[in-house]
């Protein structure tokens, strides 16, 4: 039987691609992205809210790789990372965001827009302009959102086919710009020190067990700064 595929722009990718396979629970993804679990859950499964004398349901913004239970893929992680910029950092309403994403997708004819590099050009411009129209956002307000939006997009690496391959999550205040990376080809997609292959969780657990920083650094050929950055990422709110 042929491999199931989905369309992004003019290209098709097999559904068996490791980047599109279920890999993260909601709790894990929320921790890696530094997003409140309840917030991520509402993005993935929607939410119910009171309306008039009854209840209404807001649809999800992310289609999880597996459900139930909702389990996210690496590409879902990228989608949530992009939404974090708009929803968490700028308080964009889910309804307005949902409408603006659909508008941009319809205009550009691109499925799963939140995965595409076009977000840095036409896709992102149309999405933000549409959102600005929906809430009458000022030009300066759009500029502020655009700057943060681009900062988030700069933390994603794409391959030659323009699909996300690596994410550099925000890791608190560190001396290096990208101390931590998430790559589905490394450590089963768990956060690692960038270029080192050692998971941040392993380092933090050894520190919590009372081991000396110097000993851990020697075991993995790391610097004390590496150790500090792994702990900062793991313990960031």
**Domains, in order of start, for the chain:** 5-167 (no CATH), 170-237 (1.10.10.10)
For residue 224, pLDDT beyond 90:
yes
State yes or no: pLDDT of 59 exceeds 70.
yes
What is the per-residue pLDDT for 5?
46
Q: Would you call 57 helix, strand, or coil by DSSP?
A: strand
| Residue 58 to residues 46, 47, 72, 176, Cα–Cα distance (Å) | 5, 5, 19, 39
Average confidence (pLDDT) over 118-141: 68
pLDDT of residue 234: 93
Task: Kindly tell me if the per-residue pLDDT of 146 is higher than 50.
Answer: yes
Distances (CA, A) of 160 to 8, 18, 105, 211: 14, 16, 22, 42
The whole-number average pLDDT for the span 211-227 is 95
Where helices occur in the chain by DSSP H, the ranges are: 26-33, 37-45, 74-83, 94-108, 122-135, 139-153, 200-208, 213-220, 224-235
Closest CA to 29 of 89, 87, 71: 71
Q: Please state which of the ranges 32-46, 171-185, 189-203 shows the lowest mean pLDDT.
A: 171-185
Quote the pLDDT of residue 103: 75
What mean pLDDT value characterizes the chain? Answer: 82
pLDDT greater than 60 at residue 4: no
Rounded to an integer, the average pLDDT of 66-77 is: 96
Pairing label, strands 24-25, 71-72: antiparallel
Helices (H) and strands (E) in the chain, counts: 9, 10
Q: What tokens does 231 get?
A: 């702990």
Picking from 89-93, 143-147, 224-228, which range would have the lowest pLDDT averaged per residue? 89-93
Q: Please tell me the predicted confidence (pLDDT) of residue 9.
A: 45
State the angle between helix axes of 224-235 and 213-220 in degrees (0 to 180), rounded to the nearest 10: 110
């Amino acid at each position: 039987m042929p491999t199931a595929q989905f369309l992004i722009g003019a290209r098709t990718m097999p559904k068996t691609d490791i980047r599109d396979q279920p890999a993260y629970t909601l709790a894990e993804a929320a921790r890696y992205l530094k997003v409140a679990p309840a917030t991520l859950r509402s993005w993935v499964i929607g939410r119910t809210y009171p309306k008039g004398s009854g209840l209404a349901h807001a649809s999800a913004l992310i289609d999880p790789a597996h459900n139930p239970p909702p389990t996210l893929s690496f590409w879902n992680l990228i989608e949530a990372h992009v939404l974090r910029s708009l929803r968490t950092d700028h308080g964009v309403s889910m309804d307005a965001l949902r409408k603006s994403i659909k508008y941009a997708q319809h205009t550009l004819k691109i499925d799963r827009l939140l995965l595409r590099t076009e977000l840095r050009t036409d896709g992102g411009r149309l999405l933000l302009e549409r959102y600005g129209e929906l809430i009458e956002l000022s030009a300066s307000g759009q500029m502020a959102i655009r700057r943060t939006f681009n900062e988030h997009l700069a933390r994603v690496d794409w391959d030659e086919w323009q699909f996300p391959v690596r994410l550099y999550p925000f890791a608190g205040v560190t001396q290096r710009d990208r101390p931590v990376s998430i790559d589905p080809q490394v450590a089963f997609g768990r956060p690692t020190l960038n270029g080192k292959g050692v998971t941040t969780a392993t380092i933090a657990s050894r520190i919590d067990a009372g081991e000396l920083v110097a000993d851990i650094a020697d075991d993995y050929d790391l610097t004390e700064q590496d150790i500090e950055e792994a702990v900062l990422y793991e313990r960031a709110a």
